Every structure is written in C-alpha cells, then in structure tokens.
C-alpha cells in the first residue's frame, strides 16, 4: 500500500483558479478577498468581528496588547498544547500558569481552581485535537473569580459546544490556518474572533503598523498583516469546512470501532461536536508502535512529546512545575492519519497494523 501521511491539505480547482485571479488583480495585502474572508468567518462563527493576521501567535499577541493587561499578571493555560500558546503571554509581560488535563486532554477545571491566585487575570483554554474544553465549568470559575477567557481554537474551527461554535463563547478567541489545520490557507495565517468592536479595531490597527487611516500612525504597531492569496484559499475552504469536518468524524468513528478495546481511543464529551483535527490514541509501547507503523508506510505524530511546562525556555523563565496527568499522557499519546481524503481502506490498514503490532 502507498504511504499514508499523517495529514493532507484540502485542494480544489476553485482554489487554484482563485489564486490565479488574485495574481491577475495585482492586489495582494488586506484587499477585498481578506475583507470578505473576515466577514464570512465572523458569520460562520456567530460573532460580530473577525480580524485576520499572519498567524495564531501574532493574532493573540495583538489581542493581549489590545487588552492592555497589567504586566506581571497571570494567564492560566494547559501545558499539553503547541508551544505558540504560551508565546504571546510571555511577549506582553504576563506570566503563564500551567494547568493539568482531564480525560479529553483539555484543561481540567478542578486543577484550574487550585491554580488561581490574586495575580490571575485570565484563562486560555485550548480546544485540543478538535474538541471543546469543559467550557461550562471553566466559564463558571471565570465568572466567580472575575477572570476573562480567550479560547484557543487553533485546532477546532467548526467544533461546537452545547450548540455554539467554539470561538464564540467568550470575550475573544484565536484561530490558526497553518497547513495541517482543518481549514488551511496553504501557509501561516490566523486571526481573532470577538464581539467587542473596540478590541477588533485595535487589533486591526496594531497588525498594520498602528494605522487607523492611510497616512496616520496613531500608535507603534507591527507588520502582522494577512494576504489576498491566502484569503481566497481560506474562503474556498470555509464554504466546505462543515462537509470536511463531517468526513473527519466519520473516519474517527471507523477508527474507534476497529480499535476500541485494543488501545485507548479518544473520549468525546457529550456536550461537544468534535472536529478531529487529530485522532489521538494512547498506548504503552508508543515509540515502538510508531516505528512499526513507519515501516509499514504509515505517518504518525506526537502532539506533543514535550509539554510546554517542560520546555527549556519556559523552565529558564518560570522554573519547574509538576503536572502528573500531562506528564503521563505525553509518553503514551500517538496521532494517527486524519484528513478528509483518507479512505476506509487506509483506516482499516492502519488499524490492522496496530492490532498486528499488539498481537491482537
């Protein structure tokens, strides 16, 4: 069988033709395609505003700058996440406080309660692997303690929590359109969603050198703009994202039907509609299994082998902490191939190889 990659970006003739149209237009930065993409994303998510930037990291950096949080305040977030989740926090002079995970690999509300201090300002729950965190519990804690919440939706575009889209539940949220994401723009890209017009306006100005009009720079900003070629790619994919996510769910159902009782399969929260950015299993001999699958031509990943609180840069700045459930999981988790174009035959082959390795 041909090699099965871990992920594969969606492509179409509409995308290819749209890219050529942009090239012919000669308009490449924050033009009509970008403006339309922002409006369509806001409509899709059910929020007032979406502001595009050149990555999730940049967008959330701009958002935290716009929120003008007192330096030294603490932001609570999980450690089982991509390293960029912590970077904007550090860049604006805030302190990350790491929270352990629950059975879905998302932020554990019980551990969250224990980590709140008088210096806590906000919470950044990560909707990891495409499933919403336990937002009802997290939002209740935030209300009680007077904390804001920014949703990390980098892996969860299209997911729902109790009927509402992730990214529409709190003051603001951050999205990524990196090549492996459910909706990609064939490069780095991201943005923030919010119902707060003043926050959106400030982020939009900061991404473009602090300009609110063509010839006047009202503040010192950044060059973190979005481009028209990526906007047309994103617009085409947004039109089919629900269909693509449904294919991911079907693939996940097939994996779980074949692997339940063989390995630990993903646990789905009853209140969530998962979009399976990743299909992640747990197994004790993870590294040996990964090597075995590689020999069979099957791509896999580990998301993430080194949690953020164990990264040298974080330890050097903030010291060491212990997160037992996170530290156990990172030695057992394995991401299997997951993308819309995956076939039933390929899923069966992957599952069969896992059973072969485990002797079951």
- pLDDT the model gives residue 186: 97
- Cα of first residue to Cα of last residue in the chain, in angstroms, is 21
Confidence of residue 350 (pLDDT cuts 50, 70, 90): very high
- pLDDT the model gives residue 1: 57
The pLDDT of residue 217 is above 90: yes
> What totals of helices (H) and strands (E) does the chain contain, helices first?
13, 14
Question: Mean pLDDT, to the nearest integer, of 46-67?
Answer: 98
Question: Mean pLDDT, to the nearest integer, of 341-354?
Answer: 98
Please name the residues in contact with 347: beta carbons below 8 A apart, sequence gap of 6 or more. Answer: 251, 254, 255, 258, 337
Inter-CA distances, 286 with 3, 263, 293, 357, Å: 20, 10, 10, 11
Structure tokens at 322: 């212990």
The mean-pLDDT minimum among 63-67, 84-88, 252-256, 269-273 falls in: 269-273
The pLDDT of residue 78 is above 60: yes
Q: Give residue-wise pLDDT tens across range 146-180.
A: 999 999 999 999 999 999 999 999 999 999 999 99
The pLDDT of residue 288 is above 90: yes
Q: Give residue-wise pLDDT tens across range 42-53.
A: 999 999 999 999
Task: Give the closest residue to 49 by CA, choosing from 61, 59, 40, 62.
Answer: 40
What is the reported pTM?
Answer: 0.96
Q: Which helix (H) or strand (E) holds 2?
A: none
Question: Mean pLDDT, to the nearest integer, of 298-304?
Answer: 98
On whether the CB atoms of residues 121 and 148 are closer than 8 A, the answer is yes
Percent of the chain past pLDDT 90, that is, above it, reads 98
On whether the CB atoms of residues 267 and 252 are closer than 8 A, the answer is no
- pLDDT the model gives residue 23: 97
Q: Give residue-wise pLDDT tens across range 233-277.
A: 999 999 999 999 999 999 999 999 999 999 999 999 999 999 999
Q: Give residue-wise pLDDT tens across range 107-125.
A: 999 999 999 999 999 999 9
Inter-CA distances, 84 with 68, 90, 103, 143, 310, Å: 20, 10, 23, 26, 14
- pLDDT the model gives residue 213: 85
DSSP letter string over 269-293?
Answer: -TTEE---SSEEEE-TTHHHHHHHH
Question: Mean pLDDT, to the nearest integer, of 308-321?
Answer: 98
- pLDDT the model gives residue 360: 64
CA angle 22, 231, 19 (to 5 degrees): 30
Domains of the chain in start order, with CATH, are: 13-238 (3.40.640.10), 242-358 (3.90.1150.10)
């Amino acid at each position: 069988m041909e090699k099965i990659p871990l992920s594969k970006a969606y492509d179409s003739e509409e995308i290819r033709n749209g890219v050529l149209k942009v090239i012919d237009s000669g308009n490449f930065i924050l033009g009509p395609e970008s403006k339309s993409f922002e409006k369509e994303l806001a409509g899709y998510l059910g929020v007032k505003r979406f502001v595009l930037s050149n990555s999730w990291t940049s967008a959330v950096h701009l958002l935290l700058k716009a929120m003008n949080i007192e330096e030294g305040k603490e932001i609570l977030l999980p450690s089982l996440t991509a390293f960029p989740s912590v970077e904007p926090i550090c860049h604006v002079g805030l302190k990350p406080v790491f929270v352990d995970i629950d059975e879905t690999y998302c932020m554990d509300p019980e551990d969250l309660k224990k980590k709140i201090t008088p210096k806590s300002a906000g919470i950044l729950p990560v909707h990891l692997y495409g499933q919403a965190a336990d937002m009802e519990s997290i939002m209740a804690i935030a209300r009680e303690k007077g904390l804001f919440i920014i949703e990390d939706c980098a892996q969860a575009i299209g997911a729902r929590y109790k009927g509402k889209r992730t990214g529409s539940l709190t003051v603001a949220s951050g999205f990524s359109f990196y090549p492996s994401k459910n909706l990609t723009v064939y490069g780095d890209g991201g943005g923030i969603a919010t119902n707060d017009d003043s926050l959106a306006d400030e982020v939009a100005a900061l991404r473009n050198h602090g300009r609110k009009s063509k010839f006047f720079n009202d503040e010192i900003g950044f060059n973190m703009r979005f481009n028209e070629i990526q906007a047309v790619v994103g617009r085409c994919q947004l039109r089919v994202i629900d269909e693509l996510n449904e294919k991911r769910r079907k693939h996940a159902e097939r994996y779980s039907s074949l692997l339940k009782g063989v390995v630990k399969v993903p646990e789905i929260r009853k209140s969530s509609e998962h979009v399976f950015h990743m299909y992640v299993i747990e197994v004790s001999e993870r590294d040996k299994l990964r090597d075995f699958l590689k020999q069979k031509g099957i791509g896999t990943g580990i998301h993430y082998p080194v949690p953020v609180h164990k990264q040298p840069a974080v330890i050097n700045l903030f010291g060491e902490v212990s997160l037992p459930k996170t530290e156990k999981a990172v030695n057992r988790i394995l991401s299997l191939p997951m993308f819309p174009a995956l076939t039933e035959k390929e899923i069966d082959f992957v599952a069969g190889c896992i059973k072969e390795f485990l002797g079951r």
